[in-house]
Amino acid sequence: MKREKCRLFSRQARLLLQFPLQSGETV
């Protein structure tokens, strides 16, 4: 359970890191 959550978090973190400027520039 904990390992699965870490994997999902890593996947979402990668997506967020792929476009952090585009989504962070408006914030």
Per-residue pLDDT, 19: 66
Per-residue pLDDT, 4: 83
Per-residue pLDDT, 25: 59
- Host domain of residue 22: 1-27
Look at the chain and report how many structural domains it folds into.
1
CA 27/CA 23 separation, integer angstroms: 7
Kindly give, in sequence order, each residue whose CB lies less than 8 Å from that of residue 16, ignoring residues fewer than 6 positions away: 23
Q: In this structure, which long-range contacts are made by residues 8-15, counting pairs with CB atoms below 8 Å and at least 24 apart in sequence?
A: none
- Kindly report, residue by residue over 1-27, the tens digit of the pLDDT: 678 888 888 888 887 777 666 655 555
Q: Per the confidence metrics, is the pTM higher than 0.95? A: no
